[in-house]
Amino acid sequence: MKKALTVSALLILAVWALIPSTQWSSQLPYRVSTTQWRDQLVPMLTLSQGAAPCTIGAYGASGSLRQYRCIVGKDLDGALQLNHDYKIGTDLHCHVHWSPIDADVGYVRWALDYYWSDTDTGPAGAAPTTIYAEQVSGGTAWVHQFVEFTDISAGGTKGLSPSSMLIFRFHRVAATAGGPDEYNAAAVPLAMDCHYEADSLGSREELVK
């Protein structure tokens, strides 16, 4: 047992030796040389109903589970806060997990209006940015699908501090195809999540990375 512990300790020291001392903390390497992908999850049922809210209805054949259902023009409001392991200045890659409620085949288009504000900054009266994600339903009810939004770019006053906030309105809009190619039933948004790059265990200081 002692021999195994000694070998483990030597391996840890060897890893530390490969990392510049400026990236060490008192117990573990503070930052790593390569980034990892992490996930900031937003379950849709945690969002507030918007000005024209999506309704809540049964999910699946049993009828005992309930989720939001959104037709074109309906919306939800929310916000998320990034974790302190976020790599400063990198983009966010968000997508939607959703399901059709029937076998109709057609396009569903989701929109996200957002402000991305760092600590001590704000939108300063500017209009929110809008991004979109569009996908055709698979023709089978309740299938779990997911579709990616356009990337959210860092820069300016966005993504330059830990604990930056994404304040958003999530809504369904008319598909670009339109007409008979539109999915005519309500679509069920299950969750939105944003993938982000992480380069540390957290921030060295409480409010400063």
What pTM was computed for the model? 0.81
Largest CA distance in the chain: 72
Residue 68: predicted pLDDT: 97
User: Kind and range of the H or E element at 95?
Assistant: strand 93-100
CA-derived radius of gyration, the chain: 21
Q: Are 101 and 69 in contact (CB under 8 A)?
A: yes
Q: How far is CA 162 from CA 78, 113, 149, 200, 206, in A?
A: 19, 22, 23, 11, 9
Q: Which residue has the higher pLDDT, 53 or 155?
A: 53
Whole-number Å distance between alpha carbons of 186 and 99: 9
Whole-number Å distance between alpha carbons of 167 and 171: 14
Which among 63, 42, 44 has a CA at the least distance from the CA of 53? 44
Which of 9-18, 61-70, 150-159, 160-169 is least confident? 9-18
Reading the block at residue 177, the tokens are 């195809």
Q: What is the DSSP string of 1-64?
A: -HHHHHHHHHHHHHHHHTS-GGGB-SSSBSEEEEEEEEEEEEEGGGSEE-SSBPEEEEESSSS-
Whole-number Å distance between alpha carbons of 65 and 174: 27
Residue 179: predicted pLDDT: 64
Whole-number Å distance between alpha carbons of 101 and 186: 7
| Each residue's pLDDT tens digit, 141-181 | 999 999 999 999 998 778 888 788 999 999 999 998 666 69
Whole-number Å distance between alpha carbons of 11 and 104: 57
| Each residue's pLDDT tens digit, 86-131 | 999 999 999 999 999 999 999 999 999 999 988 877 766 689 999 9
pLDDT of 208 > 70? The answer is yes
The SS3 assignment for 127 reads coil
Q: Which domains does the chain have, with CATH numbers?
A: 32-200 (2.60.120.260)
Q: Which residue is it, tokens 């117990």? A: 27
